[in-house]
Chain A
Amino acid sequence: MKTIYKMACVAFVLSTGVAQAQHAGHGDMPKGPMAPDWTAYPVLASGGGFSRAGAKFQAFNMHAMDAASYASFDGQTAEDLNTATQPLTVDENGAVAVKSGAKGGYYILRVTGHGPGGEEATATTLKYFSNPGPAPRDLLNIARPGFEIMPAVLPREHSHYRENETWAFKVRMDGKPMAGLAVVMETSNGTKTEYVTKADGSVDVTFPGDFKDIPKDQWRHGSPPASKFVVAVRDGGLLATYNDSYNLDAYGDKNLWAGIGFAMLGMIAAVPLVRRRKTDKKGA
């Protein structure tokens, strides 16, 4: 029992050292919307006030006129979509609030209006409220009216898009796939890449490895803050965007070889316990 007590003391002392510094930012609400200086495409940025019951957003780089949220649902019919759709009000500054009513799952926020060039613009983003809710499969795949670019599949809950990963997006017009359109990806780290949609309207986008050297005092919970991205597609006078965030590379704050080294240390420590001894031979 003494050993257990010592183990408990060591674990506690070890973990308290950096606790306060790490904990200081945890749970803080975003202070307010910040205008993006990294893209001219329409984006929907967090406008603060996030809780399990709802979140506020701010439309930038567009004259926002209408908005709607779509809660995740199970179903394939227009009626299912209607049930999941909630018309929202956009104020004169482009601010809009999504209400989850403490119901969980994913919510798509879509804001329509005019883009920077006067084109008909549709900006979309997605919010996950961490309460139980349906998978977003039907939410992503159902035919919605209008021109849109949407993720084909999302990172699983509590996971993220990450640097150097490739994810599929789909471009659709009234639910029909749009082939051969140029898709532009821009990130808040300054990278711009272009892709072209395939015959099924999909496009595989690789998140660039462009995380900059962010000072450690800006890191939270052992990771640098997420960076922003937008994927945008044009078709004539129509513009559709989807924006979200992505994180550091899977191994960006990890060392695989050190991990293998520690595993080998563990293996070496176990060898004396399993190797053959003289007494084994005598016993045999």
Chain B
Amino acid sequence: MTSFFTLSRIRMSVQIVMLVFTVYGGALVGHYLSDKVTGALPALSCAYDQQNAGYCVLIPLQHQLHHRVGESIVRAQQFSFDYVIPLAFTMLTFLAFFVVLNKAFCGWICPLGTVQELIYKVGRRLRLPVRRFTQATVGRIRPYKWATLILLVLVLPLMAGLGYTSYVTGDAYCQVCPSRVVTTLLTANGEQIAVNTADPTAFAFSAARSAIFGFILILAFGMRQPFCRVCPMLALHAVFRRIVPLRLAKKETGEKCGKCKACYQACPMDIHEVAFEFGSKAFHADCTMCGRCVEFCPDDGMLALKLGPIPLFTASASYMKARAKIDKPDGTLPKKKPATNPSPAE
């Protein structure tokens, strides 16, 4: 591999293609629901984008909990397996996709992840300072993704179906998801950034959505993947990450490892375990399988992206040396060397 065809550049190319496909792909696959690639994509491809090629799995998950499970229990005053069959099919479809790429859906496919990454790159071009969380702060933030998954994706939609909470909470996560704003704005549709004035709950959720969008938009100039850290999709992926053959692998031991921390600095999710833990513990729930840790690891074979036992991309000192000339582990561009006049002797 030459220094031009780095894993990061290949990944960015895939991300751009997938951004176009997930946001505008309806022109290619078709307009109607049954034309879409799937209604259970393990990435934040928003259904409010009328031109998309596939839907995020969180949409049917919330709707089925709301309409099929919750409302059916209210109507029939009983629980039946019929109510959960669509839910089971949604999760099976999700798993059918997930088993192929694992958490790479976050690092390679998700349109919101790509947009945040592109904004961060602009921040580096503008030489804005890089902001990173301390290990302690990362530790405090991590539970939020589980809270978002449990509260907004699972509990509130079910409560809405049972009649305990507002209808608006039937898709509580979608109500605040910044991808809903980002992907629709990319299609020149401003409807999802507008605040809903119909009732207080809808107003509160839509105002929060717009504010979160603005917050993430600016934060991404200085911080890598700010929203991903609390994204419920990251949590959903984390539940199933161990059953998929494609994964981040690290050797069980290594004397040199843990000293340079280049992998930790390269990690857009600030996962310190990748530097200080070994074996399967290094593949953390927050990993998006972007592969930057593998790229910047100078210890031959210490880290690898593997498909089962087959290494797809392995850390090597020579690759890292060439890679570091493009940008630093945290994405900062290297300083330009002052032009030097050739010596007269030459």
Q: Are A259 and B168 within 8 A (Cβ)?
A: no
Q: Are A263 and B219 within 8 A (Cβ)?
A: no
Complex: how many Å from CA A166 to CA B193? 23
| A residues near B30, Cβ cutoff 8 Å | 135, 137
Contact residues of B between 149 and 169, Cβ < 8 Å to A = 151-152, 156, 159-160, 163-169
Contact residues of B between 192 and 236, Cβ < 8 Å to A = 193-202, 204, 206-208, 210-219, 221-223
Take A4-B144, A136-B32 as given contacts and tell me if A222 and B218 are in contact as well, using a CB distance cutoff of 8 Å. Answer: no
Complex: how many Å from CA A84 to CA B151? 43
Partner of B166, one of A17, A254, A261: A17
Take A256-B193, A259-B206 as given contacts and tell me if A27 and B214 are in contact as well, using a CB distance cutoff of 8 Å. Answer: no
Q: Are B166 and A255 within 8 A (Cβ)?
A: no
| A residues near B75, Cβ cutoff 8 Å | 27
| A residues near B204, Cβ cutoff 8 Å | 14
A79 to chain B, nearest CB (A): 21
| B residues near A270, Cβ cutoff 8 Å | 214-219
| B residues near A223, Cβ cutoff 8 Å | 198
Take A17-B200, A258-B197 as given contacts and tell me if A273 and B219 are in contact as well, using a CB distance cutoff of 8 Å. Answer: yes
A73 to chain B, nearest CB (A): 11
Q: Is B115 an interface residue (CB 8 A)?
A: no
Complex: how many Å from CA A260 to CA B214? 9
| A residues near B32, Cβ cutoff 8 Å | 135-137, 154, 156-157
Q: Are A266 and B210 within 8 A (Cβ)?
A: yes
| A residues near B163, Cβ cutoff 8 Å | 19-20, 23, 26
B236 to chain A, nearest CB (A): 17
Q: Which A residue's beta carbon lies closest to that of B51?
A: A156
Q: Is B321 an interface residue (CB 8 A)?
A: no
| A residues near B218, Cβ cutoff 8 Å | 266-267, 270-271, 273-274
Q: Are A15 and B31 within 8 A (Cβ)?
A: no
Q: Is A262 an interface residue (CB 8 A)?
A: yes
Complex: how many Å from CA A90 to CA B222? 67
Q: Is B131 an interface residue (CB 8 A)?
A: yes
Q: Number of A-B pairs whose CB atoms are under 8 Å?
A: 185
Q: Is B172 an interface residue (CB 8 A)?
A: yes
Q: Is B143 an interface residue (CB 8 A)?
A: yes
Q: Is B34 an interface residue (CB 8 A)?
A: yes
A7 to chain B, nearest CB (A): 7
| B residues near A255, Cβ cutoff 8 Å | 194-195, 197
A71 to chain B, nearest CB (A): 13
Q: Is B129 an interface residue (CB 8 A)?
A: yes
Q: Which A residue's beta carbon lies closest to that of B170?
A: A221
Q: Are B166 and A19 within 8 A (Cβ)?
A: yes
Complex: how many Å from CA A123 to CA B140? 62
Q: Is B6 an interface residue (CB 8 A)?
A: no
B293 to chain A, nearest CB (A): 23
Complex: how many Å from CA A58 to CA B283? 61
B3 to chain A, nearest CB (A): 27
Partner of B34, one of A18, A132, A154: A132
Q: Are B166 and A274 within 8 A (Cβ)?
A: no
A8 to chain B, nearest CB (A): 5
A-B contact pairs, 25 of them (CB 8 A): A8-B151, A12-B165, A15-B160, A15-B169, A17-B166, A19-B160, A19-B166, A20-B163, A27-B74, A132-B34, A134-B34, A153-B31, A157-B32, A157-B33, A251-B194, A259-B193, A259-B206, A260-B210, A262-B210, A263-B211, A263-B217, A266-B213, A269-B211, A274-B131, A276-B128
- Additional A-B contacts beyond A11-B172, A19-B166, A153-B31 (15; CB < 8 A): A8-B151, A11-B152, A135-B35, A136-B32, A137-B30, A159-B50, A222-B198, A251-B194, A253-B197, A253-B198, A262-B210, A268-B214, A270-B214, A273-B223, A274-B219
**B interface residue numbers (CB < 8 A to A):** 30-35, 47, 50, 71, 74-75, 123, 128-129, 131, 143-144, 147, 151-152, 156, 159-160, 163-169, 172, 181, 190-191, 193-202, 204, 206-208, 210-219, 221-223
